[in-house]
């Protein structure tokens, strides 16, 4: 089974090389290095080149790519990372998530994204790499964290995916867009609000709804 290492990445190659070598890597496997899109630093590119040089010298053909993540927007970052993990997991590949390096916000975003997809695709081969502890004190196992994701019917998912990711939409506009009766749409919205996926407000006699941060992540 092909393994894809998805790793947060900073200024040092060791944060990637140590867990990769500990877990094992073969020709044909991939390494995807997550870096912040908003912050450019030549030390990151130098460290990536060190990873490539090491892999080429000792292990041969290992595909290594950089994926920039918009870390300043937590919801967008989690959506991007979860989409990446899900894409490879659905191909039947083993996804090993390493959060030993890089910015703390990126580490947190990656942990949340991986946890969501682990719970969404329970049978997929996704796991966390053992995490290095500072000062050479060893490493720690990171278990799967079980969370309860709402199970959406086709009708509820249809409503959710037709609410814009940014801004609001009126109930009337949503009913017209979907071509469904208002009572059905309202019932779905009530349950979606109970799940914490949408929130609403009233302005006069007009009802508006929008996605919550969790809704934006799950709406993909």
Predicted confidence at residue 104, as pLDDT, reads 95
DSSP-assigned letters across all residues of 26-79? -TT-EEEEEEESS---HHHHHHHHHHHHHHHHHT---EEEEEEE-TTSHHHHHH
pLDDT band with cut points at 50, 70 and 90 for residue 59: confident
Tell me the pLDDT band of 28, cut-offs 50, 70 and 90: confident
Give the residue from 39, 58, 63, 46 showing the smallest Cα distance to 11: 46
Confidence at residue 84, expressed as pLDDT on a 0 to 100 scale: 97
Over residues 131-151, the pLDDT tens digits come to 877 766 778 889 888 888 888
pLDDT at 173 exceeding the cut of 90: yes
At 139 the pLDDT is: 80
Position 149 scores a pLDDT of 80
Tokens representing 123 are 């049978």
- 163 contacts 198 by C-beta, under 8 angstroms: yes
Does the pLDDT at position 6 exceed 90? yes
Domains assigned to the chain: 3-140 (3.40.50.11700), 154-218 (1.10.10.10)
Quote the pLDDT of residue 137.
Answer: 74
- pLDDT of 73-131, one tens digit each? 999 999 999 999 999 999 999 999 999 989 999 999 999 999 999 999 989 999 999 88
Residue 55 has pLDDT above 80, yes or no: yes
Instruction: Give the closest residue to 78 by CA, choosing from 131, 32, 116.
Output: 116
The closest of 102, 109, 85 to 30, measured between CA atoms, is 85
Alpha carbons 4 and 30: distance in angstroms, whole number = 5
Q: Which of 65, 127, 139 is nearest to 98 (CA)?
A: 127
Computed over every residue of the chain, the mean pLDDT equals 91
State the residue for tokens 């990151």: 44
DSSP state, residue 129: P
Predicted confidence at residue 116, as pLDDT, reads: 94
Percent of the chain whose pLDDT exceeds 90: 65
Across the range 58-67, mean pLDDT stands at 88
């Amino acid at each position: 089974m092909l393994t894809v290492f998805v790793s947060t990445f900073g200024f040092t190659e060791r944060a990637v090389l140590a867990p990769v070598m500990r877990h094992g890597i073969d020709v044909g496997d991939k390494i995807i290095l997550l870096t912040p899109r908003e912050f450019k630093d030549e030390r990151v590119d130098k460290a990536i080149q060190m990873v490539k040089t090491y892999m080429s010298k000792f292990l041969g053909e290992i595909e290594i790519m950089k994926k920039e993540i918009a870390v300043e927007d937590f919801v967008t970052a989690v959506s991007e990372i979860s989409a990446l993990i899900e894409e490879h997991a659905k191909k039947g590949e083993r996804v090993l998530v390493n959060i030993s390096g890089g910015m703390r916000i990126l580490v947190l975003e990656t942990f949340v994204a991986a946890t969501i997809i682990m719970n969404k695709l329970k049978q997929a081969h996704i796991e966390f790499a053992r995490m290095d502890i500072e000062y050479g004190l060893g490493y720690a196992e990171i278990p799967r964290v079980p969370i309860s994701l709402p199970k959406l019917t086709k009708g509820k998912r249809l409503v959710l995916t037709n609410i814009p990711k940014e801004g609001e939409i009126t109930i009337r506009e949503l009913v017209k867009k979907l071509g469904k009766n208002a009572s059905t749409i309202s019932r779905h919205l009530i349950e979606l609000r109970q799940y914490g996926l949408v929130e609403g407000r009233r302005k006069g006699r007009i009802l508006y709804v929008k996605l919550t941060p969790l809704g934006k992540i799950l709406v993909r």
